[in-house]
């Protein structure tokens, strides 16, 4: 573990196995300097255990940065379940996850992420109080995806303003990768703003539903990188900005809700060199964790959430403006700002 590039000084990593339910999970806690670690639970059918491990590490570090840039009293953590979210889910599997989370005594708070639903986390909540993103309870507000999508939409407009001189999206062509919870809501915002959409996803049913609702054109998953558009919005899984895809992009802006979009930090340098404005993922997609933080506080306040999301958009603008003035990649500037906030 300590030799992996993704280790990044994690405080602790917990491997969880439950023989009765078949649960294989990893809970990674990157930092609790600002408060208890918080980050969602992802269920994915990883090719290898090492892939699951590295994903947990990268996602956990990203949550430390995300929570810091959203100015939340939370550290960074993440949990991943190794399994097929369509065939391997059971209520008892998530109850076993809940017991594992409870054993950490509040060092880590979870919520839903890719492959995990509000109902799944409700089963986990039967065994632990350290779960948010629920639809019932004193401070419950349900799926945080709509808040994430709204933040991404506002952040995308902030990036457009700097790239095109206006944040008016009417007639702008936007290529959207992933139309699940966040991507689907985002497409609704973009269509309402008059944007022309080209979309893709591995879920054909979700694609058709979004296309019907927004008039979007559908392309094959691998073809999205070749779409000539104004903005590319990745809202699926990470590491999609890599040596194989960067040379194919035909856009001026990359702004989306997916976590860990850069395969490696130097991909941000490459985007900068190509003249593509990149909105750092953990800054633009912080709306969901702001919503979760409101639940963790025990007294959900929609006005507080809205104010925090608006402040986050201003923070993104600061990152983009500073990167331009210093002639550096936006992710390098954001990383520096996040580390400073974490270190105090």
Tell me the two tokens of residue 304: 């507080």
Percent share of the chain, pLDDT over 90: 89
* Nearest residue to 27 via CA among 90, 110, 87: 110
Average pLDDT over residues 13-23: 98
Phi/psi-derived region of residue 178, left when phi > 0, alpha when psi is between -120 and 50, beta in every other case = left
Active site members: 78
pLDDT at 344 over 80: no
Tens of pLDDT, residues 148-190? 999 999 999 999 999 999 999 999 999 999 999 899 999 999 9
CA distance 319 to 317: 5
Tens of pLDDT, residues 290-330? 999 999 998 889 999 999 999 999 999 999 999 999 999 99
Q: Provide CATH 3.40.50.10860 ranges for the chain.
A: 5-62+75-125
Average pLDDT over residues 1-9: 90
pLDDT at 139 over 90: no
- Overall size of the chain counted in residues: 344
Tens of pLDDT, residues 82-131? 999 999 999 999 999 999 999 999 999 999 988 999 999 999 999 999 99
Q: Provide CATH 3.40.50.720 ranges for the chain.
A: 145-286+314-343
Tens of pLDDT, residues 205-262? 999 999 999 999 999 999 999 999 999 999 998 899 999 999 999 999 999 999 899 9
State CA 341 to chain mean position distance: 20
Q: Where are the alpha helices (DSSP H) in 41-110?
A: 49-69, 91-102
CA distance 155 to 28: 28
Tell me the two tokens of residue 175: 């290529």
- What ranges make up the beta strands (E) of 255-325? 277-278
Per DSSP, 6 falls in state G
**Contact between 167 and 161 (Cβ < 8 Å):** yes
Q: Which helix (H) or strand (E) holds 38?
A: strand 37-38
State CA 313 to chain mean position distance: 15
CA distance 284 to 152: 5
Per-residue pLDDT, 1: 87
Homologous superfamily in CATH for domain 145-286+314-343: NAD(P)-binding Rossmann-like Domain (3.40.50.720)
Identify the band that residue 22 occupies on the pLDDT scale cut at 50, 70 and 90. very high
pLDDT at 272 over 70: yes
β-strand pairing of 196-200 with 173-177: parallel
Count of Cβ atoms closer than 10 Å to residue 24 Cβ: 18
Average pLDDT over residues 23-34: 97
Exposed/middle/buried for residue 145 (C-beta within 10 Å: 0-12, 13-18, 19+) = buried
CATH code: domain 5-62+75-125 is: 3.40.50.10860
Q: Work out the angle at residue 100's Cα, subtended by the Cα atoms of residues 139 and 261, and round it to the nearest 5 degrees.
A: 75
CA distance 74 to 36: 5
pTM summary value: 0.91
Tens of pLDDT, residues 43-89? 999 999 999 999 999 999 999 999 999 999 999 999 999 999 999 99
**Contact between 128 and 106 (Cβ < 8 Å):** no
pLDDT at 138 over 80: no
CA distance 156 to 150: 10
Identify the band that residue 140 occupies on the pLDDT scale cut at 50, 70 and 90. confident
Per-residue pLDDT, 265: 95
Enumerate residues 6+ apart whose C-beta is below 8 A from 313: 151, 154, 155, 158
Helix 49-69 vs helix 287-296: angle between axes, to the nearest 10 degrees? 80
In DSSP terms, 250 is beta-bridged to 228
pLDDT at 5 over 90: no
**Contact between 160 and 253 (Cβ < 8 Å):** yes
């Amino acid at each position: 573990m300590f030799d992996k590039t993704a280790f990044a000084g994690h405080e602790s990593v917990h491997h969880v196995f439950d023989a009765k339910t078949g649960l294989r999970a990893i809970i990674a806690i990157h930092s609790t300097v600002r408060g208890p670690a918080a980050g969602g639970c992802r269920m994915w059918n990883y090719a290898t255990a090492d892939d699951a491990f590295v994903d947990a590490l990268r996602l956990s570090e990203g949550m430390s940065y995300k929570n810091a840039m959203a100015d939340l009293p939370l550290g960074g953590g993440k949990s991943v379940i190794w399994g097929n979210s369509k065939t391997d889910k059971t209520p008892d599997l998530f109850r076993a996850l809940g017991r594992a989370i409870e054993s950490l005594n509040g060092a880590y708070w979870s919520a839903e992420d890719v492959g995990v639903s509000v109902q799944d986390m409700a089963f986990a909540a039967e065994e632990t109080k350290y779960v948010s993103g629920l639809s019932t309870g004193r401070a419950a507000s349900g799926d945080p995806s709509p808040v994430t999508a709204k933040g991404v939409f506002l952040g995308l407009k902030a990036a457009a303003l700097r790239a095109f001189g206006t944040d008016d999206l009417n007639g702008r062509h936007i290529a959207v990768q992933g139309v699940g919870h966040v991507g689907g809501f985002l497409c609704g915002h973009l269509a309402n703003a008059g944007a022309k959409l080209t979309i893709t996803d591995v879920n054909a049913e979700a694609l058709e539903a979004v296309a019907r609702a927004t008039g979007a054109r559908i392309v094959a998953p691998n073809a999205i990188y070749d779409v000539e558009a104004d903005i590319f919005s990745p809202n699926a899984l990470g590491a999609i900005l890599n040596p194989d895809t960067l040379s194919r992009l035909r856009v001026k802006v990359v702004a989306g809700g997916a976590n860990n979009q850069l395969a490696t930090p130097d991909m941000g340098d490459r985007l900068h060199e190509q003249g593509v404005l990149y909105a750092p993922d953990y800054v633009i997609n912080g709306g969901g964790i702001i919503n979760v933080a409101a639940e963790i506080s025990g007294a959900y306040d929609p006005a507080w959430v809205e104010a925090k999301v608006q402040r986050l958009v201003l923070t993104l603008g600061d990152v983009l403006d500073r990167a331009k003035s210093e002639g550096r990649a936006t992710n390098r500037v954001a990383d520096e700002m996040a580390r400073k906030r974490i270190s105090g």
